[in-house]
Amino acid sequence: MGGGGARIPALTLVPSLFYIRLISLTAGTLVYLFLLALILGHRRPRFFERLLFFLMLSLFLIYSGALLEMNARIQYGSPPSLTIVFAQSLIAMGSLSLLPLVWHTFFKYHEQVRQGRVNPKSLPLIWAFYLIPVLTVNGMIIFAYQPPAPLTLAEVVKFLAENAAAGLALCAASAALLGFAAARTAGNVIERHLFRWVFLSSCVLTAILTVQSLPWKFAELNSDGLLTAAIVAGVFPGAALLYYAVRRNFLEYGAQRNLMYALPATFLALLYLALVRRVSGWLEPVLPPEATASVLLFVLIFLFEPLERAIGPVLHRQLAERMDRVQRLTSQLQQEARQGKVAHLVAEAERRIREEFGLAALRISIPREAALQALEAPGRLGHRAQMRMMKDGQEIGVLEAATSGSYLTGETTAALEFLAEQLPGMVDLARLIEDKLRLERELAERERMAVLGQMAASVSHNLRNPLSSMKTVLQVQLENPDLPLDVRRDCTLIVGEIDRMSAKLTQLLHYAKPTVHGERVAAVAVAAQTAWLFGRDAERRNVRLEFEKPTDEIMAQASEEALSEVLSNLIVNAMEAQPDGGRVRISVGRYDGRLDIVVDDDGPGITAELRAKIFQPYFTTKATGTGLGLSIVARRIQELGGTIAVESPLRQGKGTRFHLTLPLVEEEGDKARA
């Protein structure tokens, strides 16, 4: 980060500082080049990754330009001017673009990786930073052509490269400030440690570059030492990022093992080829370069066995660690399966497998949906794979995985195939437990209903007879023509309350009474009769009752009493929802091989919060309701093997629609064809 702070002198440097500087420049170039390859190979389609790539590219240009200039001076003593201009151009380009990239990358990290909120007012300021390199270059071009002595392009580039220390000091100070803020708000230990390293190294670099860019020089300060310290300090942020990315899986870069293996192998091969070229040059007075290169490349054959002995145990250990992790993941998913929730198991399997293997996306489809499009990698930049989930030779689903970068390794693919083989058993276990829990709940519900039925029968026996006697006495009194008007009014009120109590007792008995299955019911006729029975009541309430029926009768597998009870409750609810009058519409039809019944109204509608509770027993929003009407509807539909759904609001924030489906009677022709 500080490679371009001053022009590198020739071989008159202090030998120790010279070699430290050369090694540091080489290390910095390799570190930032490795990070560039890592980010490019990961290919995550986020704006943050693109900014991080260009930030690393700027640092790479600074170090590679300084390294090129130093090697040119070593090689030529007095290097060609074109080489120096090219090297200093790299330093200038990297230095000018560094400040806006530092700020923009940190802000995008907070926004996209941490999912934090960014003050919108700060974004224009960040974009304004990009004007700095543009204005600087334009200013230098204008200044270069001012009389009396116009500057050449080489002189402009040289000026920018040799006076970059002040700009780099500002960049380092910005990195220190942002690193400190990121470390304080870090969400985990890895993130906190990384940004502490960025903060500390940036502070050191800021101090060095500030002293180096001062207009006056201290005699006691060694300018070569300051330059060397700046170069060394500039390597640390990249080295820390590389360590935490590879070893601690920061930003999930280390999860892609194939990329982790390919990049070091490529770098080692390039370094060995560079060594071959350098040794060939050294031995050129004795041996032809081609002969030296052939010998050095042939020597690799004898290194294969030692390399295999050295690398084999490492690969075996890593494979064993991966299989242990896969086994632990399998055990964790087995525990999830024992909860008896298939949907929860699939969701947890997708989340944990995606996190374990560092995948961009993962989807488990049980069963495979033909209309569902194949899983795509984000931005269509990665690799995808499908693993079929088989049971008894039949496909029951598919596991789809997609990366954001390089291809899936063989070990990752094998692990995913192993999990695809294990998941059908886990799903079966979850379904068995789910069925067992459902049967237990149904048994407990039946036992509760039996107790409720006994209680209802007892209540009915103990209350109906006294209520009937009271009603009879009151009705006899009402037949007396000499009964005072106020007494007649009170007696009429009491008779109405007795009727209401009797209706609630009847409703309680209906809720506790199970439905009779297996009857052949003329659904259209039952619906028409039920709607006709409520015709007078609808007129009295100023409600328009509409009935839409098909031309042909539809035979349903249900109970006539249960179907009538369901429709009665829905019609009563729809009318009571419109005390000032309105419309109730009932339609009966056939859809997708099932009986289809729709009851909708123009009432005020039902809120989302209430829709989740309306089918619960004893839940009501009415002052005099029992809360059993819709519970009876849901219970009867479930007992008949049907479904019920509610939709509200329908139009202009009002209206409610209940949609019922019931199984149809299997015709004789259908049985014969089956």
- pLDDT surpasses 50 at 545: yes
Q: Quick one: pLDDT at residue 12?
A: 41
Amino acid letter, residue 364:
I
Answer whether residue 290 is part of any domain. Answer: no
Identify the residue with better confidence: 358 or 21.
21
Domain of residue 394, residue span:
318-436
pLDDT bracket for residue 550 (50, 70, 90):
confident
Asked if residue 422 and residue 447 are part of one domain, the reply reads no
Q: Quick one: pLDDT at residue 204?
A: 92
Asked if residue 147 and residue 211 are part of one domain, the reply reads yes
Instruction: Confirm if 205 and 2 have CB atoms less than 8 A apart.
Output: yes
Tell me the pLDDT tens digit for each residue of 631-659. Answer: 778 877 887 888 888 888 887 778 888 99
Q: In what order do the strands lie in the sheet with 643-647?
A: 543-548, 582-591, 594-601, 656-663, 643-647
Q: Quick one: pLDDT at residue 673?
A: 40
Look at residues 397, 412, 436 and tell me which one is the last residue of a structural domain: 436
Look at residues 510, 530, 565 and tell me which one is the last residue of a structural domain: 510
Look at residues 495, 510, 525 and tell me which one is the last residue of a structural domain: 510
Average pLDDT over residues 308-318: 71
Asked if residue 425 and residue 485 are part of one domain, the reply reads no
Identify the residue with better confidence: 617 or 94.
94
Answer whether residue 266 is part of any domain. Answer: no
Identify the residue with better confidence: 251 or 621.
251
Asked if residue 336 and residue 243 are part of one domain, the reply reads no
Tokens describing residue 186 = 């870090």
Answer whether residue 203 is part of any domain. Answer: yes
- pLDDT surpasses 80 at 434: yes
Asked if residue 101 and residue 240 are part of one domain, the reply reads yes
- pLDDT surpasses 80 at 509: no
Torsion angle, alpha carbons of 446, 447, 450, 452, to 10:
-100
Classified as helix, coil or strand, 173 is helix
Answer whether residue 267 is part of any domain. Answer: no
Answer whether residue 8 is part of any domain. Answer: no
Identify the residue with better confidence: 368 or 192.
192
- How large is the C-alpha radius of gyration of the chain? 41
Total structural domains within the chain: 4
Asked if residue 395 and residue 370 are part of one domain, the reply reads yes
Closest CA to 329 of 362, 287, 300, 297: 362
Q: Quick one: pLDDT at residue 477?
A: 80
Asked if residue 350 and residue 332 are part of one domain, the reply reads yes
pLDDT bracket for residue 250 (50, 70, 90):
confident
Q: Quick one: pLDDT at residue 195?
A: 92
Q: Quick one: pLDDT at residue 274?
A: 77
- pLDDT surpasses 80 at 121: no
pLDDT bracket for residue 63 (50, 70, 90):
very high
Q: Which of 67-71, 436-440, 490-494, 634-638 has the highest mean pLDDT?
A: 67-71
Identify the residue with better confidence: 53 or 373.
53
Identify the residue with better confidence: 153 or 203.
203
**What CATH number should be reported for the domain holding residue 591?**
3.30.565.10
Asked if residue 531 and residue 430 are part of one domain, the reply reads no
Average pLDDT over residues 471-499: 80
Percent of the chain with pLDDT over 70: 78
Asked if residue 479 and residue 381 are part of one domain, the reply reads no
Tell me the pLDDT tens digit for each residue of 272-286. Answer: 787 888 788 788 888
Percent of the chain with pLDDT over 90: 9
Average pLDDT over residues 458-485: 75
Asked if residue 605 and residue 466 are part of one domain, the reply reads no
* 52-66, 288-302, 520-534, 595-609: least confident range: 288-302
- pLDDT surpasses 80 at 10: no
**Would you give the end-to-end CA distance of the chain in angstroms?**
78
Answer whether residue 6 is part of any domain. Answer: no
Answer whether residue 299 is part of any domain. Answer: no
pLDDT bracket for residue 238 (50, 70, 90):
very high
Q: Quick one: pLDDT at residue 372?
A: 75
Asked if residue 582 and residue 489 are part of one domain, the reply reads no
Asked if residue 183 and residue 34 are part of one domain, the reply reads yes
Q: Which is it for the CA torsion 16, 22, 25, 30, positive or negative?
A: negative
Q: Quick one: pLDDT at residue 261?
A: 65
Answer whether residue 274 is part of any domain. Answer: no
Distance (Å) of CA 528 to CA 549, 563, 632, 660:
8, 12, 20, 16
pTM: 0.56
